[in-house]
Amino acid sequence: MKTIYSIMKREMNGYFGSPVAYVFIVIFLILCGFFTFQFGDFYNSNDASLRTFFVWHPWLYLFLIPAVAMRMWAEERRTRTIELLLTLPVTLPQAILGKFLAGWLFIGIALALTFPMVITVCYLGDPDIGQIVAGYVGSFLLAGCYLSVGSFASSLTRNQVVAFIICLVICLFFVVAGWAPVTDALASSVPLSVANFIASLSFMYRFDSVQRGVIDTRDLIYYASVITFMLAASSVVLTSRKAS
């Protein structure tokens, strides 16, 4: 536990020690605001909720989280620091978890900095606080899923750009599998049960249900299993390829 914490702390300092972290946070906040007010038409919706705010998150994360995750393992392998890290009294799962938690916490901080949205909506109307909390929880869990995919993508290569693209493509699949235009197209070409199964794998499907303000156990299990699976996959890849 203490080892995981030490690794997490180091990664965290790594994020904030470089300009990347600040650039990421600023871009994330600007885009959040831009999408919510411009495309979401927040004011004219006449709705005291953050629905128009959260609805953009899966798309924002699609580009921003691969950028956070890409260096996670690719850089360790490129600079060979992985050799020193894994010959310390550290197990591979501890290292993977430490890095993952650091990235997740970092995104959590960026997400927490969107609090002016909450203040705005509370000032303008009388929103359902429970729904807003559920929205944040859902968004944070979604970010965890993207990040775990990023961990896996980053373990596959020494090249950060390649890691970025692999992560983006896998995440894109998970997103569009539940996106209305795609599900409609699927429903008309394959049996409904297959179409439903594919849609149920999607991040969007789960994300929508949480945004309605209900945190269902099934959704939590879904998020937990995606993260666990992707981190385990990172471990398998790193075990076999760390030396190459």
Partner 1 sequence: MIQVQHLIKLFGSFRAVDDVTFEVQKGEVLGFLGPNGAGKSTTMRMLTGFFPPTSGTAKIMGFDIIKESLEAKRQIGYLPENAPVYPDMTVEGYLKFIAEVRGFSGQELKKKVARAVEICSLEKVLPQTVDTLSKGYKQRVCFAQAILPDPPVLILDEPTDGLDPNQKFEVRRMISSMAENKCVILSTHILEEVDAVCTRAIIIANGKIVANGSPEELKRRSSLYEAVTFSLDSVPKDEAVSAVSALANVAKVEVLKENEGSLTLRALPAAGSVIAPAVAEEIRRRGWISTQFHVEEGRLDEVFRNITRQ
Local structure of residue 216 (DSSP, 8 states): -
Residue 6 in contact with partner 1, rule: CB under 8 A: yes
Task: Please state, in angstroms and rounded to a whole number, the distance separating the CA atoms of residues 55 and 47.
Answer: 14
From candidates 2, 46, 126, 217, binder to partner 1 by CB under 8 A: 2
The Cα–Cα gap between 138 and 126 comes to 21
83 near partner 1, judged by CB under 8 A = yes
Taking CB under 8 A as the criterion, the residue among 80, 192, 212, 218 binding partner 1 is 80
* From 26, 30, 88, 112, residue interacting with partner 1 (rule: CB under 8 A): 88
CA separation, residue 175 to residues 61, 62, 85, 145 (Å): 10, 9, 34, 11
Residue 93 in the binding site for partner 1 (CB under 8 A): no
Q: Say how far apart CA 219 and CA 141 lie, in whole Å.
A: 10
Which listed range, 75-83, 108-116, 128-136, 214-222, lies at the site for partner 1 (CB under 8 A)? 75-83
Half-sphere exposure of 108 (CA within 13 A, CB side): 12
Any idea what the Cα angle at residue 38 is, between residues 32 and 44, rounded to 5°? Answer: 115
Q: Is 22 in the site for partner 1 (CB under 8 A)?
A: no
Query: Is there binding between residue 10 and partner 1 (CB under 8 A)?
Result: yes
CA–CA separation, 171 vs 59, rounded Å? 10
- Binds partner 1 by CB under 8 A, chosen from 81, 200, 225, 228: 81
Among all chains, which residue has been given the structure tokens 């919706």? 45
The amino acid at 100: F
Of 13 and 45, nearer to partner 1 (C-beta) is 13
Decide whether 85 or 170 has the Cβ nearer to partner 1. Answer: 85
Q: Is 3 in the site for partner 1 (CB under 8 A)?
A: yes
Q: Which residues of this protein are in contact with partner 1, per CB under 8 A? A: 2-3, 6-7, 9-10, 13-14, 17-18, 79-84, 86-91, 242-243
